Amino acid sequence: MATSRKQERSIPLAYAERYREFAPALPGADLPWLKNLRQEAIARFSALGLPSPRVEAWKYTNLSTLAKQPFVPVDDADIAVSPADVAALLPPEDGPSYRMVFVNGRLRPELSAVGELPPNVRICGLAQALTDEPAQLEPHLGRVAALNGHALVALNTAFMEDGCLIQVPRDEALEAPIHLIFLGRPGATPPAYHPRIVVIAELGSRVTLIESHVGAGQGVYWSNPVTEIRAEPGAVVGHYKFQDEGPGAYHIARTDVALAAGSRYESFVMAVGAGLSRNEIRVALGGEGADCRLFGGYMMRGRQHVDNTTRIDHLVPGCTSRETYKGVLDNRSRGVFQGQIVVHKGAQKSDGRQLSRTLLLSREAEIDTKPELEIYADDVTCSHGAAVGELDDDQLFYLRTRGIDEAAARGLLIEGFMGELADEIGFARVRDRMLATVSAWLSERREEAA
Amino acid sequence: MTGTPDSMRAIESAVAEKYKYGFVTDIAAESAPPGLSEAIVRFISAKKDEPEWLLDWRLKAYRLWTTVQEREPTWAKVQYPKIDYQDACYYSAPISDADRPKSLDEIDPQLLATYEKLGIPLKEQEVLAGVAVDAVFDSVSVATTFKGKLAEMGVIFCPISEAVREHPELVRRYLGSVVPYADNFFATLNSAVFTDGSFVYIPEGVRCPMELSTYFRINAANTGQFERTLIIAEAGSYVSYLEGCTAPMRDENQLHAAVVELVAFDDAEIKYSTVQNWYPGDENGKGGIYNFVTKRGACRGRNAKISWTQVETGSAITWKYPSCILQGDNSVGEFYSVAITNNRQQADTGTKMIHIGKNTKSRIISKGIAVGRSDSTYRGLVRILPGADNARNYTQCDSLLIGEQCGAHTVPYIESRNRSARIEHEATTSKIAEDQLFYCRQRGIGEEDAVALIVNGFCREVLQELPMEFAVEAQKLVGISLEGSVG
Amino acid sequence: MLEIKNLRVVVDDKEILKGLDLTVPAGEVHAIMGPNGSGKSTLSYVLAGRDGYEVRDGGVTYLGKDLLAIMPEQRAREGVFLAFQYPVEIPGVGSATFLKTAVNAVRKHRGEKEFDALEFLKLVRAKREALGISEEMMRRPLNVGFSGGEKKRNEILQMSLLEPRLAILDETDSGLDIDALKVVADGVNALRREDRAIVVITHYQRWLDYIVPDSVHVLSEGRVVRSGGKELALELEQNGYGGIGLQAGAAV
């Protein structure tokens, strides 16, 4: 307080100041309700600004380098991407899926394969939905991901150009997962895009959503996706995300989930990519017996920065939440975990548990952890735990006495540390892919060391 | 709350427990006019016959404070109406201060009676307990017992205003060296207007033979209390210091913005214990002390150790984070805390452990109990800097909620920049287990006693850190804070 | 096979081994007994190469080579096996994965062909069944949630798979009930061979009823104070450590 250094709560973002220029080209420009929503959103963003580390929720993640990039909206006309380009960036899929591929945030039907859908199941591009059936979208868009308080949700709402609408009707159990692939392609000027995913799982339905975020190229781009998920009573939503963006990428994602009575949401986020990434999840447990499980893993090297921020609101009695995040930080990378559990007044019999564990592999790596409990009801069981350290000497020694050399022993321990997360994932294909991601990260690390 | 009607009653009666230290002592006091200005700062300094450098320091703080008034911290989870700093009185002394008493015999008998009522009979303690007591009544120290005996060992224990006169070189060297005047809003205010507090100096190699103790009491109406305590433990020395606090019941809120600075050199140990029982306000949240305190210790030497223990049951609002800066290699910081809030009380308290040196260790044990409509927050920071090889931290924060109108919160910040550091943090929030209560009752223990028993058990790890004399008082306080709760 | 001469070892500035001498020829089983704090576990850790054990004097020759000069994993590959008193739990690392990695690391070192998954599974099945280790146990993370007896059996399973030349069993009997004791002892006995030496560290003579030693050494205050045949263990059982001139009651 003594210093004269004046710290502002927001960082100017030139790109957003040019909103009026870009607005006419955005989809649904002729829809009054959407126009109003976007107007409100940009006004909100202007009022809030891009958050600086002075804003408590952004204390450990500084967006000032992002703000310095000369981002422009995506002009996708001249980006040629072949199915082989996409395939090269992803592990082969070992099963059927409803597949949608987005290049710089825009749906590419020629790369996608949604195929036959059961009756009344809707999986379609957002831009297309705004053209073909905006009335279907209006009651859902922006309802779960509220604008208030979150600048980047507001920015996404103002700028969103495409995305996906998923609606699963009552009691429909969708067997195959919906796989959304977001491919970032940096160009001469760094592109910024704002996908919006809207999921409505109706009464008693089941749906699995996989997001793959990959990058083609070393350059700078910014992906700012917002996902809103509404699970009606008894619905089950699996949501799995692999963030493997290019090294120059900024990936700032936000997911808002509203859970009704007896519904269940399971999320797993695996982050290995991007120069700077943040994955923020907010879950509102709004009906009795709702259950949410948030799991995440991150493995960072070089100067990568990863931020996992979550907030779980127990709004009504009798809900359960489980959360485990584990990460490995090498070189000069930095990790952030902020996890908040809020038990609201009257939300008795809430059961919330949270765990964060981090391994630091190098002298220069840094982890900042802020687990937070905010409890306003007395009959609850809530806990959090956080542990930070390096690999355990006793374990390392034990492995070495069995003839395993130190480097291999370290690899085995890291693999085991991350591998524990796999047990939490309820979807086998995702589990396998997660383990493969860990192995790939470790072998790259070995190669680098060699 | 799903408790039986009995347990509800027990809890409600706990909530209804009255503040038993809420009497007012009627003695003539000399006060400065209310309000804060450069003139008041000069008045305080002149009253205390201070040297030029200290006045300058106060004025620097005052001028800074006037420019940063909008920076009154807002991040804590506490709510209170805006404080009118011009409404408070910044200096009040019992009038007899003009010719300070030389011994206890010369002290105003009514004052002594006040301490008796507080359970701090100075004479008795002097004789029986061997505790040296420095009592701060409103703004000035009125008596320091056992001075002679301590002086023989080279231990200095006196009011800080006296230290300014008698040991100016020590005060000048260390005052503000741990909590600079620009540290935070309340510390800045304190630096400008502090009126008294204790000064302790333990020379090299000396193990202070008795517990040193200060008793603070706010008596005059509309008086802020801004004491400043400075403790220096030279290499190889040891001291255990206790402070207790009470204030009379008044409808107005009173501000208490103290600063405590501790410095420990090589192999030195400072144990600092607090039982804070300021008036918490009534059951509707009227009145009570705003306890906005900055406490910080610096382990400057190798193997130095600073241990904070606090039992916080009083004050309308508590805002304090006794912290340790672990500079010396192998130095150790500890924080043991019990915070009980009842009625409309709000507590936002915790610690900061800053690990700088190698092999530094810290341990945090925090127990928060929220009753009635109160809010209790643990807020803590563990920061491991890159040079702190093999640093260790263990944190355990447990919260207990009694009743469905209260809140308990845990906000830890954990920052590690050294891979060889190991940090473990655990936190739980729960209510008193019905099966524990039932078990106690089945064995014939009344509900209220059972609650007190269980809460005392919940706090045991912290209470056992207190020196014996305080542990008993603290346990009673824990009981009192909940006692009415049991019919 | 193993020759320890005047070994002095300091842990945390405290001398634990104070000039220990011990020779174990191939084909023999040697028991080391002694009160708590006599340095038994320190000896096993020094031989296995744990950090933090500073050798001040003396040396250890294993198969004619300086054992202390090489890394823990090299010792293991050269055939030194330590059955830990407290096998460490490693969450997340599957028992089977771990075993295969270790066995193949040792085989590779010996110039033998590494096992593929199928061969390895077959091999493990044969060995584990003899020790009463279930397949389900192999699927669990290493030592996590294992009972005391399961951990010890798992140690002997590893021993049988790694085929060491020198095996050191550090209080493998502790925490075992009588049935488990017999199963584990049978496992150990099955591994007695002409070219293999076994060092059994224990508190109890009972264990030596099952694994009959060729020699018994009594360790006290960091030194071997007495050596003899298996009857020395019986003598200890009857008279206690006090009976042979050590402070009584030290052995618990």
Report pLDDT digits (tens) over B291-320. 999 999 999 999 999 999 999 988 889 999
pLDDT at B15: 37
Place of tokens 């945030």: A105
Q: Taking CB atoms and an 8 Å limit, are A368 and B406 in contact across chains?
A: no
Instruction: Evaluate whether residue A381 is within a structural domain.
Output: no
Would the CB atoms of A1 and B185 count as touching at under 8 Å? yes
- In this complex, do A400 and C71 lie within 8 Å of one another by their Cβ atoms? yes
Say yes or no for a CB contact (<8 Å) between A363 and B408. Answer: no
Distance CA B119, CA B477 (A): 12
Which pLDDT tens digit goes with each residue over C182-220? 888 998 999 899 999 999 999 888 889 899 999 999 999
The four Cα atoms B73, B79, B85, B87 give a dihedral, to 10 degrees, of 180
Q: Give A171 to chain B, closest Cα distance, Å.
A: 35
Q: Would the CB atoms of A372 and B420 count as touching at under 8 Å? A: no
What's the gap in Å between the CA of B269 and the closest CA on chain A? 28
Closest by Cβ to A401, choosing from C82, C94, C98 = C82
Instruction: Tell me the per-residue pLDDT of B356-368, one tens digit each, with 9 for 90 and over.
Output: 999 999 999 999 9
Question: Is A251 found in the same domain as A118?
Answer: yes
> Looking at residue A3, what is its pLDDT?
36
Alpha helices in B153-303 (DSSP H): 160-166, 168-174, 185-193
Smallest Cα distance from B272 to chain A, Å:
27
Give yes or no for A407 touching C (CB within 8 A): no
Q: Which of A285, A314, A337 corresponds to the end of one domain?
A: A285
What value does the mean pLDDT of chain A take?
92
Does the structure show a pLDDT above 90 at B222?
Answer: no
* Mean pLDDT of the B9-31 span: 50
> Would the CB atoms of A348 and B426 count as touching at under 8 Å?
no
Does A365 reach chain B within 8 Å, measured CB to CB?
yes
* pLDDT of amino acid B10: 42
Listed range (A80-94, B122-136, B279-293, C148-162) with the worst mean pLDDT: B122-136
- Quick check: is A126 in a domain? yes
Q: Which residue has the tokens 């030195």?
A: B268
- The tokens of A156 are what? 């996404």
* Residue A82 sits in the same domain as residue A224: yes
Average pLDDT over residues A257-274: 97
CB pair distance less than 8 Å for C90 and A398: yes
- Looking at residue B191, what is its pLDDT? 93
Same domain, A158 and A278: yes
- Categorize the per-residue pLDDT at C176 as very low, low, confident or very high, splitting at 50, 70 and 90: confident
Q: Locate the chain B residue with the closest alpha carbon to A337.
A: B414
B427 near A CB under 8 A: yes
User: Strand B346-355 vs strand B323-326: parallel, antiparallel, or unpaired?
Assistant: parallel
Domain contains A377: no
- Classify the complex by whether its ipTM is higher than 0.90, answering yes or no: no
Closest C-alpha to A384, from A328, A336, A326, A341: A341
Per-residue pLDDT, C140 = 87
Structure tokens at B13: 């009666």
| Pairwise CA distance, residues A439 & A419, whole Å | 10
Helices (H), A228-362: none
The reply to whether residue C81 touches residue A418, judged by beta carbons under 8 angstroms, is no
Which whole number is the average pLDDT over A181-197?
93
Q: Strand, helix or coil at B17?
A: coil
**Residue B408, strand partner residues:** A375, B376
Q: Does C92 sit within 8 Å of A417, measured CB to CB?
A: yes
B1-30 b/e (C-beta count within 10 Å ≥ 16 → b): bebeeebebbbbbbbebebebeeebebebb
- Residue B166: predicted pLDDT: 92
A55 to chain B: closest CA residue: B75
Q: What is the pLDDT of residue B129?
A: 39
pTM check: above 0.80: yes
- Mean pLDDT value across chain B: 80
| Residue A280 shares a structural domain with residue A404 | no
Which of C45, C71, C90 to mutate to probe the A interface, most A CBs <10 Å?
C90
pLDDT at B13 over 70: no
Are the CB atoms for B24 and B31 separated by under 8 Å? no
Residue A339 lies in a domain: no
Quickly count helices (H) and strands (E) in chain C.
9, 12
Question: What pLDDT is stored for residue A344 in this prediction?
Answer: 95
Q: Closest by alpha carbon to A102, among A207, A212, A188?
A: A212
Chains A, B in contact, 3 or more Cβ pairs below 8 Å: yes
* Contacts B14 to A, Cβ<8 Å: none
Region of poorest pLDDT, from A107-111, B161-165, B253-257, B432-436 = B432-436
For residue A179, the model assigns a pLDDT of 97
| Partner-chain residue, chosen from B64, B417, B425, that has the shortest CB–CB distance to A366 | B417
Whether residue A361 is contained in a domain is answered as no
Secondary structure percentages of chain C, helix, strand, coil, to 5: 40, 30, 35
pLDDT in tens, A90-103: 998 888 999 999 99
Task: Report the pLDDT value the prediction gives residue B227, as an integer from 0 to 100.
Answer: 86
Q: For residue A205, give the nearest of A171, A165, A239 by alpha carbon.
A: A171
Q: Is residue A352 part of a domain?
A: no
Both structure tokens of B31: 């006060």
- CB contact (8 A) between residue A379 and residue B1: yes
Domain limits for position A122: 5-285
Secondary structure class of C202 (helix, strand, coil): coil
Write the pLDDT tens digit of every residue in B26-63.
555 567 777 888 988 998 899 888 999 999 999 999 99
| Residue A311 pLDDT greater than 90, yes or no | yes
**Consecutive H or E run containing A250:** strand A249-259
The domain total for chain A is 2
* pLDDT tens-digit map of A348-371: 999 999 999 999 999 999 999 999
CB contacts of A399 in chain C (<8 Å) are: 73, 90, 98, 102
pLDDT of residue B8: 40
The answer to the question of residue A349 being in a domain is no
What span, in angstroms and rounded, lies between the C-alpha atoms of C140 and C144?
7
Of B183, B409, B423, Cβ closest to residue A373: B409
A353 domain residue, yes or no: no
Between CA B433 and CA A381 the distance in angstroms is: 10
Range name among B180-194, B214-228, B311-325, B329-343 with the lowest pLDDT average? B214-228
Which of A285, A309, A327 is where one domain is finished? A285
CB C199 within 8 A of CB C192: no
Q: Is A363 on the interface with B (CB under 8 A)?
A: yes
Contact flag A419-C92 (C-beta cutoff 8 Å): yes
- pLDDT of B219 > 50? The answer is yes
Whether residue A401 is found in the same domain as residue A271: no
The CA distance from A335 to the nearest CA of chain B, in Å, is: 10
Rounded distance, CA B27 to CA C139, Å?
Answer: 79
Q: Residue B395, class by beta-carbon neighbours within 10 Å (0-12 exposed, 13-18 middle, 19+ buried)? A: buried
Give the pLDDT mean for B71-90.
Answer: 83
Comparing A224-238, A262-276, B24-38, B71-85, the range with the smallest average pLDDT is B24-38
CB contacts < 8 A, A to C, total 86
Touch between chain C and chain A (3+ CB pairs, < 8 Å)? yes
pLDDT of residue A5: 37
What is the mean pLDDT of the segment spanning C120-134? 87
- Asked if C158 has any chain A CB less than 8 Å from its own CB, the reply is yes
Note whether B409 contacts A374, CB cutoff 8 Å.
yes
Of all residues in chain A, the one with the smallest CA distance to B181 is: A2
pLDDT at B214 over 90: no
Shared domain for A131 and A248, answered yes or no, is yes
| Chain B residues close to A380, C-beta within 8 Å | 401, 429-431
Report, as an integer, the average pLDDT of C53-58: 93
Q: Chain A: residue nearest C141 by CA?
A: A416
Among B66-70, B176-180, B324-328, C226-230, the least confident range = B66-70
Task: Name B98's Cβ contacts closer than 8 Å, sequence gap at least 6.
Answer: none
C69 touches chain A (CB under 8 A): no
pLDDT of residue B287: 83
Mutate to test the interface with C, among A401, A413, A423, A435 (most CBs of C within 10 A): A401
> Does any CB of chain B come closer than 8 Å to the CB of residue A369?
yes
More reliable by pLDDT, C118 or A41: A41
Do the chains contact at A367 and B426, CB–CB below 8 Å? no
Is 70 exceeded by the pLDDT of residue A260? yes
At which of A256, A285, A314 does a domain end? A285
Average pLDDT over residues B370-394: 93
Residue of chain A whose Cα is closest to the Cα of C71:
A400
Nearest-CB residue to A416 (from C84, C88, C91): C91
Q: Under an 8 A CB cutoff, do C102 and A419 touch?
A: no
- Does residue A321 surpass a pLDDT of 90? yes
